[in-house]
Amino acid sequence: MNKINVKLYTTFILVFVLLTGTINANPDTEAIKEKLIKWKVGNSSLTSEPFYDYQLQNVLAKVDKVKKQIDKELKKEVLFKISELKNGSNRKAQVRIRKFISAVYVFAQVYKLPSSETILNPYYNNQAFLDYIIATFDYMNRNGWKAGVNLHTMKVEGDQILAIWKELDELGFVGLGGTIYNQASSYVDAVLILENELKKSNRYSREFEMVKWVARIWFPEINGITHPGFQFKGFNSDGFRKLTRLYLPYILLEPDREKQNVHMQHFLRYMKKCISYAPGWADTFKPDGSGYHHKMSYMAAYSSSTYQDAALLLYLLKGTEYSLSPKSIAVIENAFDKLIYFAPNNKIHLGLTGRFPNNYTFLENFSPYYYLMYQATGKIKYLETFKHIYSQINSKEKLSFKYIGEAMSFNKGVREQGKTLDLGNYNTFFPYSGTSIHYYNDVSVSLKGQSKYIKYGEVAGIKQNNHGHHFSSGALFVFGKNNHTGFSPKGWDYTKIPGVTNYNISLENQGKKEPYYSKEYVLGGVNLKNNGLFAVKHQGLNDFGVQGNISVFMFDDLVIALGSNFSGKFEKQKLQTTLFQSSLLVKNGKLSFNGKKPIALQENKSNTWVTLNDGNSYFIPNGNVKMTYGEQTFAGDRGGQLKKGRFATAWIEHELGKDLGYEFIILLDDKDSKIIKMSKNKDQYYKVLQKNKTAHIVQYKTSLGYAFFQAGEGLNHILSVDEACMIMTEEDDHKLHLVATNPDLGWIPKNETLSYSQIKSMQHLYTESTTQNLQITLKGEWYLSVNNSNVKISYKEGNTLLDLEVLDAATVDMTLIKK
């Protein structure tokens, strides 16, 4: 080979390596990178897929809007310098750079999306548009978006990363809220998608160094200091998303195979920590399927995105040397298995939405990840779950996804042959969320309370969920058929949350205090077969001091809601218990109040029954019931402008005084107007045997439910209990099926309470659950049909003592036989 050919060959190899990076590349990481890029922008085979047109239209509409914003910025002669991007420091610079970070991803995505069969994408592989994208990268770089920029919140001298690592070593998580890290993943995605184009334009080395700079917070070591924090179980959702959306793409872009492998092994070590059950108030995964963030169950945001990233990671790493561990896979599967039971109608309790109440339908856009789980595990149950969610979605053609891979998975799931998951009728309680779900004939009842362990919710002072103070005050939502939820953000009256007892005063006079935890531990539930009960010793956290005992007994289509011993600080102000607030968006069905057409305001003082448009009926045997019908005006969850909506809203207006109570019944899917018969003789259907400060006890056929709010005596087979507890029994011949729980999670001693700041401290955040005891005294002598390790049985004076050991407020299930 002559010198000229050698030179040409060498030049070719150097260019090839520069453009492709395939020399000495790890085939596993290359395969992961290819799958990840395909997830972000898809491929040309998608152009004839259903929903692709709609996704392409959305992207094109977005890019035109974003391009106008960037055009204005690019024309400015005065460059903004971002020598630092600390939270709250040089805020104007941070707001402007965020625009660019979001823009380059939108630009990269539309550049890679081919035209569909009916819609032209003028930006696809358009050289002039690519030049425009490169110019945008250049502008960002000139303005300081380059390796070395300060990205953090710490006001300390020296390396900012080490300051964050100190916090990580002390508390086990990183607080990145409000920092540029929350948007940086869009920039990293753009570099990943345009890797080859950036190489051709000689910008890749510069941008790769910036990606590396953004990702270095997760490096195994810096300046000889080892990455800390692995002594803690679990990880916060903010940190998890940055690991998957910042650190992993950097690893896949790293050209040095040896360095890449070191980083991948470190990443997998992090995944073992992240994807594990976190104790106490720590993020994220919990054994009952709950997902924690900000020391609370936060299902419709944060946790849900963590679940999504975990499923994607499982899919990406499958079949490579970097596959997730079996334990991590089991944790992810448990989260997906349980999540559908939180929201069988695709609607989740608003108390689990954090500061985003309008996200209560999040499961619809979450659905592609169930198909992804099917692809990753091969388990048919995830395809069946996808089809169940799909069957519940209205306006399917209007779903919008961030990533083309989501639309791709959605399309594949729709086309895939298979049956829909049959949830059947069920009742379950989620201890870490303080939430009960009762599902009967496609109608669900969703309940949530608060305790010294379970946070009320999140009411932000940044125009998010401004009015959601009562979403966990025993709130009772019925999510009906025909996609009916009752809730509608336009005109919703936040002073009247279904199931909640509070003062009938305006929001302006209810205060803005952030609700956290009560001083009571009594919040729990049990289920016996498909039925169950929920109970909470409610304690209001604002200045009004509303408190009382709440229980809800759920038997088939019958829901019995009881309240007792309610009082508040305002002796001259009446309390109200809201029955329902039902949007009138559902046209079918006939709404009636005691059999008559509704008027703007109606009132009835005894034996009241109402049938709603969604087919569910309500019966209130006693109490002054008021109902409004028609248009109502209220500020939205973010405050500001008043919004109008049409609703039927009903409540019990209590008399002045103390120890107030209520009783109301919901008949689910009341096709045969059974509510009319019940209003004439309710004892044929159920009996309230006791309703006082000690216990609420209800009989339904051969079943009894006991909600004990303190130690005390019971009725029938249950002579007494030595702790607050929930019990259900069902008698059959000489057998007694009994379920029970002690609702105390045992994270702190029974007589202690903690403030929010104390809970955030290292001393309490990772508190492990402790076993709690409960003794039940049964009338007569019984023995266990099958030995139960959580139950010890003894006898005293002809009666039976059941000593139960309960962990995590779980239900202890047993069958007893009469001696």
Mark whether 308 and 190 lie in a shared domain.
no
Instruction: Give 7's pLDDT tier (boundaries 50, 70, 90).
Output: very low
Give the least confident one: 42-51, 124-133, 562-571, 580-589: 42-51
Give a yes or no: residue 763 inside a domain. Answer: yes
Contact 589, 617 (CB under 8 A): no
How far apart CA 328 and CA 312 sit, in angstroms, is 13
Strand, helix or coil at 514?
coil
Give a yes or no: residue 12 inside a domain. Answer: no
Mark whether 627 and 660 lie in a shared domain.
yes
Give a yes or no: residue 2 inside a domain. Answer: no
Nearest CA to 244 among 203, 294, 305?
305
* pLDDT given at position 358: 85
State which of 35-49, 157-171, 255-269 shows the largest mean pLDDT.
Answer: 255-269
Question: Residue 407 corresponds to which tokens in the numbers above?
Answer: 């639309």
How far apart CA 615 and CA 671 sit, in angstroms, is 7
How far apart CA 441 and CA 557 sit, in angstroms, is 8
Strand order in the sheet with 435-440: 426-430, 435-440, 443-448, 475-479
Q: What is the mean pLDDT of residues 360-386?
A: 95
Q: How do beta strands 695-700 and 687-691 pair?
A: antiparallel
* pLDDT given at position 658: 81
Q: Is the pLDDT of residue 90 over 60?
A: no
Task: Express each pLDDT in 432-474 by its tens digit.
Answer: 999 999 999 999 999 999 999 999 888 766 677 777 778 999 9
Give a yes or no: residue 16 inside a domain. Answer: no
Q: Which DSSP string do the residues of 478-506 spell out, in sequence order?
A: EE-STT--S--SSS--TT--TT-EEE---
Task: Express each pLDDT in 473-504 by its tens digit.
Answer: 999 999 987 656 678 888 889 889 999 999 88
* pLDDT given at position 397: 65
Mark whether 286 and 373 lie in a shared domain.
yes
Instruction: Give 357's pLDDT tier (boundaries 50, 70, 90).
Output: confident
Give a yes or no: residue 1 inside a domain. Answer: no
Task: Express each pLDDT in 687-719 by its tens digit.
Answer: 999 999 999 999 999 999 999 999 999 999 999
Mark whether 251 and 102 lie in a shared domain.
yes
How far apart CA 162 and CA 682 sit, in angstroms, is 67
Instruction: Give 513's pLDDT tier (boundaries 50, 70, 90).
Output: low
Q: Is the pLDDT of residue 180 over 70?
A: yes
Which residues make beta-bridge pairs with 643? Answer: 634
Quote the pTM value: 0.93
Give the alpha-carbon dihedral of 100, 105, 110, 114, to 10 degrees. 160
Nearest CA to 441 among 423, 465, 453?
423
Task: Express each pLDDT in 403-412 by its tens digit.
Answer: 888 988 998 8
Mark whether 253 and 292 lie in a shared domain.
no
More confidently predicted of 70 and 721: 721
Which residues make beta-bridge pairs with 534? Answer: 525, 552
Q: Is the pLDDT of residue 154 over 50?
A: no
- CATH code where residue 289 lies: 1.50.10.100
Please state, for a pLDDT cut of 90, what percent of the chain lies above it. Answer: 65
Contact 163, 225 (CB under 8 A): no
Give a yes or no: residue 13 inside a domain. Answer: no
How far apart CA 376 and CA 386 sit, in angstroms, is 14
Q: What is the mean pLDDT of residues 115-143?
A: 93
State how many domains the chain has: 3
| Amino acid found at 239 | G
Angle at 811 between CA 805 and CA 813, to 5 degrees: 85
Nearest CA to 464 among 615, 573, 355?
355
Mark whether 435 and 396 lie in a shared domain.
no
Mark whether 408 and 348 lie in a shared domain.
yes
How far apart CA 788 and CA 770 sit, in angstroms, is 19
Q: Which DSSP string do the residues of 552-597 spell out, in sequence order?
A: EEEETTEEEEEEEEEE-S-TTS-EEEEEEEEETT--SS--EETTB-
Give a yes or no: residue 159 inside a domain. Answer: yes
Strand, helix or coil at 254?
coil
* pLDDT given at position 401: 85
Q: How far is CA 181 from CA 141, 157, 186, 230, 366, in A?
A: 17, 20, 10, 22, 23
Q: What is the mean pLDDT of residues 555-578?
A: 93
Range of the domain at 256: 24-274
Mark whether 398 and 460 lie in a shared domain.
no
Q: What is the mean pLDDT of residues 603-612?
A: 93
Give the least confident one: 209-218, 478-487, 742-751: 478-487
The mean predicted confidence, pLDDT, of the chain is: 89
* pLDDT given at position 590: 78
* pLDDT given at position 544: 74
Among 248, 274, 300, the domain-final residue is 274
Mark whether 436 and 522 lie in a shared domain.
yes
Task: Express each pLDDT in 522-543 by its tens digit.
Answer: 999 999 999 999 999 999 876 6
Among 406, 423, 440, the domain-final residue is 423
* pLDDT given at position 659: 84
Among 223, 244, 274, the domain-final residue is 274
Q: What is the mean pLDDT of residues 206-224?
A: 93
* pLDDT given at position 155: 46
- CATH code where residue 528 lies: 2.70.98.10
Mark whether 387 and 478 lie in a shared domain.
no
Instruction: Give 510's pLDDT tier (boundaries 50, 70, 90).
Output: low
Task: Express each pLDDT in 618-668 by its tens digit.
Answer: 999 999 999 999 999 888 777 767 888 899 999 999 998 888 999 999 999
State which of 1-5, 759-763, 796-800 shows the largest mean pLDDT.
Answer: 796-800
More confidently predicted of 49 and 143: 143
Instruction: Give 814's pLDDT tier (boundaries 50, 70, 90).
Output: very high
Give a yes or no: residue 18 inside a domain. Answer: no
Mark whether 803 and 701 lie in a shared domain.
yes
Mark whether 522 and 663 lie in a shared domain.
yes
If you ran DSSP here, which 8-state letter would residue 246 be given? I
Task: Express each pLDDT in 301-354 by its tens digit.
Answer: 999 999 999 999 999 999 999 999 999 999 999 999 999 999 999 999 999 999
* pLDDT given at position 511: 57
